[in-house]
Structure 1
Amino acid sequence: MVILLSISIPCSICIFIYFYRQRKKTSNHQHLTLVLVILCFMDMIINFPFGMIYNRYRRVIPATSSFCLWWNWWVYSFITAFIWVTAWGSIDRHLLVFHNTLMSTQRRRFVFHTLPMVFCLLPCFAHSQPTITLYDFVMNTIIPLAIITIANVALIVRVLWQKRNQRGDWQRKWKLTTYLISIAILFMITWYPKAINNIIYMYTSSPISLSLQSKYLLFLPAILEMLLPIVS
């Protein structure tokens, strides 16, 4: 993890510098990259140090109820924002590739492109009851994962179909598609095992599933966060 962090954080800073220097030339399709890298960078510098301290000493420092409450709020809010921003970005890429006239004016860009990302960044709630936990799992894991998968598969099919029929500038559309596909693949690799294991545990209460979750699968989304700035 330390090695990945030592690479990912400088990559994030380089991306910020690039966007700052090219701020007047930034295209709509690059906004998703910037938002995701900002989210990853914030979590790496705010959340990761506390997680590394816990893994080393096997206790929370500082061990106060207010800190634990804030830490849980941060983790759940970040995860919700991160996965929903990516889910919306998967839908938004269809608009940018096939319906770019919707982004022809500043007002339309705000309504169809910027505003949905702002809603995705709203913090989620803390859950302590089984029904709320189930709702949170379905709403903030299953649904966005399904959106990411279906939207990206549909995007590939639509672009390849246009290539087959030689309609439009499919090379430009394929270029706009490839980056999002790489993010979607990373999401599937790191999130699907965790989600499937959660479903198994919910129905079986298997100690093996619990052990897999706490020892291995829980850390897969963190690997995604560290890899995303590198592949960007």
Structure 2
Amino acid sequence: MASEGNSSDIDLSSDISQVPIPRFIRLAILLVMDIPSSICTIFILLNIFKNRLLRKSLYNHVIIAILLSILPTQLIDIPFHIIYLSLDYVWPSNPIFCLFWLFISVGIFDTTGILMAYATIERHILIFHDRWLINKKRRIFIHYIPLYSVVIYSLIFYIYVILFPPCLTNFDYTQPWCSYPCYYDNNILSMYDSIVNVVLPAFIIVFFSIALLLRFIIRRRQLNLKNKWKKYRRMIIQIITMSSLLIIFNLPLTILMLAHLCGLSSDIGIDFSQYAYFFTYFIPLLMPFICLQSLPEIYRKLIKIFLNYWRKIRQQLTATVTPMM
């Protein structure tokens, strides 16, 4: 769930609870997609951590961070939203759980967007300025410190405004996420959050993704001479596909948010936002499959597991069939 500035403009929880899509269909979509998506995320992370080469590759570090950021949404946010859709009220109904759920739904979700913005910038360095990272000291200052800084900044900000807010949150257990975080009522905090943590990352993703693609096309011959064509092509396809996922499901909502911040009437776009907030769930649900396609070592391993499993099932079925006399 992306944050949406001042709550006086649009009540997030009311919007998504009133989505015209029937409740049963929403529940079925989330349930059917969340289980394989969560399994895929865990499978990728385990295999990256087990494989030293994949674990040490600089271009995989931000992918690890992004997968770790969507995992709480898959394992906590979506399952409890499914429970809400089933019961029509929040369970368990207590303030501590509500704050924790809001932190996952708002803070961790927006952290994913911030990490994606960083990833689109970093990929320019990894592909076109790899000499900047030739020694350990440069890698620390150019690669590790920026990545850790992005994560730490986002966590500190959302821990402060959601878990330890400078205001009193009013919980409504009949609304998903128990309503909205109280800092949405603070004009300064909500404006800062909307512009810096949502709007800015969205436009960074668009600009640097397009720039990366154009830059790669222009300099393709030079990259070919380095004998790294396949590696760079895979890295670019990976980040462009991941960026496209956020652009498709989050950018329209971000543009609407920006329009509201610039003075557009809050009555405009309400019907659209009701759909848009629900469809932002497709970002964490589809992200692991995009990552899997760009990691051929792990993808081949998963296919092999499925083929072996299917072969065993066929053998068992064949063994139980009584030959016709």
- In structure 1, which of residues 174, 188, 210 is the aligned counterpart of residue 233 of structure 2? 174
What one-letter code is carried by the residue in structure 1 that aligns with 2:69? Answer: L
The answer for the alignment partner of 1:185 in structure 2 is 244
What one-letter code is carried by the residue in structure 2 that aligns with 1:135? Answer: Y
CA distance in 2, matches of 1:22, 1:195: 37
- In structure 2, which of residues 241, 252, 255 is the aligned counterpart of residue 196 of structure 1? 255
- In structure 1, which of residues 83, 94, 97 is the aligned counterpart of residue 127 of structure 2? 97
Superposed CA deviations along residues 90-132 of structure 1, whole A, max 9, x for unmatched, are 1110110011112212222222112222222232342231332
The answer for the alignment partner of 2:4 in structure 1 is none
Q: Does 1:154 pair with 2:211? A: yes
Higher helix share: 1
CA distance in 2, matches of 1:183, 1:99: 22
Q: Does 1:10 pair with 2:39? A: yes
TM-score (norm 2): 0.65
Q: 1:159 to 1:74 in 2, by over 3 A?
A: same
Confirm or deny: 8 A CA contact 2:111 2:151 kept in the other structure: yes
* Structure of higher CA gyration radius: 2
Confirm or deny: 8 A CA contact 1:191 1:221 kept in the other structure: yes
Q: Show structure 1 runs of 4+ deviating over 6 A.
A: none
1:1-232 alignment, distance < 5 Å = 1-26=30-55, 27-122=57-152, 123=155, 124-125=157-158, 126=161, 127=183, 128-163=185-220, 168-169=225-226, 171=229, 172-202=231-261, 203-206=264-267, 209-213=269-273, 215-232=274-291
User: Structure 1 residues 124-133 or 174-183, which shifts more?
Assistant: 124-133
CA distance in 2, matches of 1:153, 1:97: 15
CA distance in 2, matches of 1:132, 1:25: 39
Q: 1:219 to 1:110 in 2, by over 3 A?
A: farther
User: Structure 1 residues 22-31 or 182-191, which shifts more?
Assistant: 22-31
CA distance in 1, matches of 2:189, 2:223: 49
TM-score (norm 1): 0.89
Instruction: Report the number of matched residues.
Output: 230
